[in-house]
């Protein structure tokens, strides 16, 4: 039985994650060995992995999807911090409000909130 799935992003400087993932998305440092830093929460969540030919409404497939409960606040913090919004805030037909943003590593992140 699978207990956990972890996304790994290659980088030479893990501190580039601090503003995006710690300050804005409010993830905690769960582990830091210098060569690897893991951010997250102690919340229980479903284990999921998605495979897609497109990201919905003919968008590109995002590298990560992160569900939040305060999407408006996150959206404004991303803009104020200068992160590139690559798909603007949209209420989708399948019941989510979302936007895509480039993280400091060039990954496309789908930030979403179920409506």
Predicted local distance difference test score (pLDDT) of residue 25: 98
Domain ranges in the chain? 14-114
Cut 0.75: pTM above it:
yes
- Residue 49's closest CA among 71, 37, 69, 65? 65
The CA distance from 112 to 115, in Å, is 9
Fold for the domain defined by 14-114 = 2,3-Dihydroxybiphenyl 1,2-Dioxygenase; domain 1 (3.10.180)
**H or E segment and range at residue 73:** helix 71-80
For 13-60, how does the pLDDT look when each residue is reduced to its tens digit (9 = 90+)? Answer: 999 999 999 999 999 999 999 999 999 999 998 999 999 999 999 999
For 54-76, how does the pLDDT look when each residue is reduced to its tens digit (9 = 90+)? Answer: 999 999 999 999 999 999 999 99
């Amino acid at each position: 039985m699978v207990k956990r799935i972890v996304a790994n992003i290659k980088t030479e400087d893990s501190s580039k994650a601090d503003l995006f993932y710690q300050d804005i998305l409010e993830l905690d440092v769960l582990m830091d060995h210098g060569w690897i830093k893991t951010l997250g929460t102690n919340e229980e969540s479903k284990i999921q992995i998605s495979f897609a030919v497109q990201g919905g409404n003919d968008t590109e497939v995002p590298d990560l999807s992160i569900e939040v409960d305060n999407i408006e606040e996150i959206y404004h913090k991303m803009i104020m911090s200068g992160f590139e919004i690559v798909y603007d805030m949209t209420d989708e037909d399948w019941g989510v409000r979302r936007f895509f943003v480039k993280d400091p590593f060039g990954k496309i992140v789908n930030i979403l909130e179920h409506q």
